[in-house]
Structure 1
Amino acid sequence: MTPRQRLQAWFARQGWKPLAFQREVWRRYLAGESGLLHTPTGSGKTLAAFGGPLLEAMQEAQAPPEAGVPRRRARRPSPRTLKVLWITPLRALASDTLRALSEPCAALGLDWQIGLRTGDASARDKRLARDGRLDVLVTTPESLYVLMGSASGRESLRHVRTVIVDEIHALVAGKRGSHLALTLERLQALVAAPLVRVGLSATQKPIDAVARFLVGTANVRAGVPDCAIVDIGYARPRDLALGLPASPLIAVMSTDQWMQVYAEVARLAGAHRTTLVFVNTRRMAERATRHLGELLGKERVAAHHGSLARDARLLAERRLKAGELTVLVATASLELGLDIGDVDLVCQLGSPRSIATFLQRAGRSGHAVGGTPKARLFPSSRDELVECAALLDSVRRGEMDALRMPQAPIDVLAQQIVAEAACGDCEEDALYALVRRAWPYAQLPRERFDAVVRMLADGFSTRLGQRASYLHRDAVHRRLHARRGARMTALTSGGTIPETGDYTVVLEPQSENIGTVNEDFAVESLAGDVFQLGNASYRILRVEQGRMRVEDARGAPPNIPFWIGEAPGRSDELSASVSRLRTDVAAKLREGGEAAARAWLVQALGQIGRASC
């Protein structure tokens, strides 16, 4: 059988059939083209991206031996080299991707070693990645940056052919994307041949700008990226509706109305096998988990957010996938494509504040080829009702939030200059050209680049002497040489994810890390206070520097901890949709009164469902 027939046979054994867009991505990849894939969630993006490297590997395995090379010698396996980099924005998503990629490799008989290099990776996995004893490496932007900072890591990356960036929309609009763009250009300068770059996302707009970000300025001609764009859009059948309490919403939802909403969510959850409830903050996740646990049974409801320990999050994911949970309450920690099994219903408490966020969250239900996402929106105030109605109107119109890329962030540039110089002496002109090949830095003026280099070389003066001088600058030959300590600073202080002053929560007497709480909450708490974390009550024993020691409170009524500065802002596109809706309603009121406006709303937005009392 040909490689393509073998791959199609494996698809058939899974009960699948390669889709047209998957075959198109494979064809473009085998032709050596970089590509950007835009499809709805749950449509098969992973296999579309990975099928090309699989077909290429099978073709190479079936290729006849070179002339003059004895067949026995030709069959001898060559030294293992890293061929494919798979980059994900989340560590948890990296673990899921590792499992998803391993299955077809084993089934197709490919002797490929797939490894993980993230903050959660074991010492063995990190060693394999560093030593280059892998064929495929699943990593995050930050871990790739660290790998590029060591001699052994750079050596392991020299033979990379393909870079796949999953959920690229989650990176492009922030400084993490700018950081990754520079890392990819540093990687391109390291390898011999042009990299084949593949980007994946279900919510990306404008797609041409994302393509330019992916391939860099060296592959853009007259503004047009040298990148195959496979775009089947994000439109698909969806079952979406609003859920409202029995009494009219006002400026702030009352406690009685919240109880009505929780009761309605519990009723909906009882009618479905598994339900995913999304909220915007960790405090709200804990509160909703507590109330839903009282209605459905504490053992049937769990929380999932970034302040829970990794083991607690993994346990919640496994329980949901195994059908042991009726409801999992989550923040953005489950927004992207984690493997949590089949989800029948998504409920969003409060406005998600952006169109793309809602589509990502709604797409967690019906997460399969041909599946229909089913989601219910529960606004928490009168203004949020208008916002949620406008959101559904935007979805029906096929509108999407635009990604706005930061333009040449200087803090990221400084990190990458020090990191590159720490790997070997650099010529300033060559380094400037490398930086400008990253699309976010395409318009970086030479004066700005020189000013950053000068700052890194001169440092700043303090009473104790000169500080933060990381580079020696040879002004005559225009070369940069890293000073002592520059490499360590670049590796330990790199990245753009902000440090938080959270306190680690340690359960005694097991000395088990169960999560974190905000620093302000920790210092305001006293020994004996009871609070909730992950749908369990804990009593504070003592608060130490950076650590809070607790014991099981055995179900005692808890307070809900708070975290600061985590509520999202509303996107520009959703704001425009709200403005449009208010303008249209005002016009209908002027033309025909309340009855005409109501009739128009029902026709334009659909019947609004109401929650039971």
Structure 2
Amino acid sequence: MSPDRSAETPQLPSSATAALQSVCNWFKDRHWTVFPFQMQAWQHYLAGHSGLIHATTGTGKTLAAWLGPVAEALAETEQRPTATGNDALRVLWITPLRALAVDTLHALQEPLKALSLSWSVESRTGDTSAATRRKQQNRLPTTLVTTPESLSLLLTRSDAREQFRNLRAVICDEWHELLATKRGVQVELALARLRRWRPALRTWALSATLGNLPEALAVIAPPQTRLPAAPAVMIQGASRKQIVVDSLIPERIERFPWAGHMGLNQLPDVLAAVDQAASTLIFTNTRSQTEAWYHAMLQARPDWAGLIALHHGSLDPATRNWVEDGLRAGQLRAVVCTSSL
């Protein structure tokens, strides 16, 4: 079965149309414009479809995926005025990186209060406190932001089927990071189990850098798992941003040392590149390499103390959160990091 690429607008009940108008009004209040791909995603979600949203970074993919489930809850509240909207787990948001969980939580919580929807939104990762885990042991939030590993552990609970009984949607962020990896297989196995419990489950994926779109859609919404009235849709968002790839090549190519390659002979060139940029991420292969580069940069540029930082999985969660907040606020000139960012 091939994906439905058509822009045909699904027919929606009046309650769903009214809910979408509330969402559009929220955009208008913030002086934002709803992109066509966002409206298309909301409409297809409300029609019961699964799909893949492919749009460049910074164009609103998160809201395109999130406000469909929100609009569904608003429509149900309109039909049942006595409903609080704070049901058991309805939406699973899977993120490949713990560093993304905090940003995602803020983005998902933002429209809820304005739209008068009393949903609880929490995360479940390796950084989640013991107190929060104990609370989630008894009742999961309405929306849970989690990683593939944490989801797999949740599915091993004896009451997992009961805890996931109201699940409506699973949204996989940064799908390109998971596709064709061991963690991606972990997600596929989790989705297979959830679909067995919830045959009408809608599954959506988000990405900005996929090249094999039909294959990526077939993995997140396999043809054999779709209900006849619920095709999978591929939604193309705003065009890609221009990306410039520039390589720093050393003047003299040397043999790699047996003890390991740190690349510190490139330090002057990297410092010059950082000096010319407003914000820079310097990715390394290992945590030890991250530490070595960070200290080498500080030694070469002591005036950057407090303006550069390092980030890897062995750091305390509070330290990692401080670094991430500094990046968001534009307070850090550069961060030396592993794939944790």
Normalised to the residue count of structure 2, the TM-score between the two structures is 0.82
Aligned residue for 2:306, secondary structure, equals helix
Asked if the contact 2:148–2:183 (Cα under 8 Å) also holds between the matched residues in 1, the reply is: yes
Contact map agreement 2:77 2:83 (CA 8 A) in 1: no
The residue aligned with 1:311 is 318
* Structure 2: distance between partners of 1:60 and 1:220: 24
CA distances 1:321-357 after superposition (whole Å, capped 9, x unpaired):
34442211112111xxxxxxxxxxxxxxxxxxxxxxx
CA separation in 2, counterparts of 1:141 and 1:251? 40
Partner amino acid for 2:183?
R
The one of 118, 125, 132 aligned to 1:118: 125
Q: CA deviation at 1:310?
A: 2.6
- 1:249 maps to 252
User: How many residues of Structure 1 are paired with residues of Structure 2 in the alignment?
Assistant: 317
Q: State the match for 1:156 in structure 2.
A: 163
- Provide the secondary structure at the position in 2 that maps to 1:93: helix
Q: Does 1:132 align with 2:139?
A: yes
Alpha carbons 2:77, 2:85 under 8 Å: kept? no
Q: CA deviation at 1:275?
A: 2.2
Distance 1:286 1:76 in 2: 52
Q: Which runs of 5+ in 1 are unaligned?
A: 66-73, 335-613
Partners in 2 of 1:284 and 1:41 — Cα distance?
A: 28
Residues 1:251 and 1:267: Cα distance change in structure 2 (over 3 Å): closer
Taking the TM superposition and a 5 Å limit, the aligned residue runs for 1:295-306 are 295-297=300-302, 298-306=305-313
Moved over 6 A (4+): none
Q: 1:249 to 1:6 in 2, by over 3 A?
A: farther
Corresponding residue of 1:262? 267
Unmatched runs of 5 consecutive residues or more in structure 2: 1-16
**Mapped contact 1:34–1:198 kept (Cα < 8 A):** yes
Residue 4 in 1 paired to residue 20 in 2? yes
**Contact preservation (8 Å) 1:130, 1:147:** no
Question: Shift of residue 206 of structure 1?
Answer: 2.1
What's the counterpart of residue 142 of structure 1?
Answer: 149
Tell me the residue number matched to 2:60. Answer: 44
> Superposed, which structure 2 residues align to 1:471-490 within 5 Å?
none
Matched, 1:184 2:191: yes
1:219-253 per-residue CA deviation (whole Å, 9 max, x = no partner) reads: 369xxx941011348742224433445xx332449
User: For the structure 1 residues 189 and 103, does the alpha-carbon distance in structure 2 shift closer, same or farther, using more than 3 Å as the test?
Assistant: same
Report matched runs for 1:68-467 at 5 Å: 75=82, 77=84, 80-191=87-198, 193-219=199-225, 226-232=231-237, 235-244=240-249, 248-252=251-255, 261-297=266-302, 298-334=305-341
Say whether the 8 Å CA contact 1:98–1:114 is kept in structure 2. yes
Structure 2 counterpart SS, 1:111:
coil
Mapped partners of 2:267, 2:31: distance in 1: 38
Q: SS of the counterpart of 2:159?
A: helix
Residues in 1 aligned to 2:158 and 2:247: alpha-carbon distance in whole angstroms: 55
- What is the alpha-carbon distance in structure 2 between the residues aligned to residue 159 and residue 174 of structure 1? 29
**Residue 159 (structure 1) shift:** 0.9
Mapped partners of 1:270, 1:177: distance in 2: 37
1:60 and 1:29 map into 2 onto residues whose CA distance is 14
CA–CA separation in structure 2 for the residues paired with 1:307 and 1:143: 18
1: CA distance, partners of 2:85 / 2:292: 56
Shift of 1:217: 4.9
Q: Any idea what SS the aligned residue of 2:156 has? A: coil
Which amino acid counterpart does residue 78 of structure 2 have in structure 1? Answer: Q
Q: Tell me the percent identity.
A: 37
> Could you say if the C-alpha distance between residues 119 and 16 of structure 1 is closer, same or farther in structure 2, counting changes exceeding 3 Å?
same
Distance 2:86 2:55 in 1: 37
Distance 1:80 1:262 in 2: 54
How far apart in 2 are the matches of 1:160 and 1:137? 11
Q: 1:243 to 1:141 in 2, by over 3 A?
A: closer
Q: Check whether the contact 2:59–2:238 (CA below 8 A) recurs between aligned residues.
A: no
- Counterpart CA distance in 1 for 2:274 and 2:55 is 28
Q: How far did 1:198 drift?
A: 0.5
Does structure 1 retain, via aligned residues, the 8 Å contact 2:98–2:340? no
| Cα contact 1:89–1:166 (8 A) shared by 2 | yes
2:14 match: none
Classify the secondary structure of the residue corresponding to 1:163.
strand
Q: Which has the larger radius of gyration?
A: 1
Could you say what secondary structure the match of 1:299 adopts? coil
Q: For the residues of structure 1 that align with 2:291 and 2:131, how far apart are their CA atoms?
A: 35
TM-score by length of structure 1 reads 0.48
Q: 1:242 & 1:186 partners in 2: Cα distance? A: 44
CA displacement at 1:279 relative to structure 2: 2.7
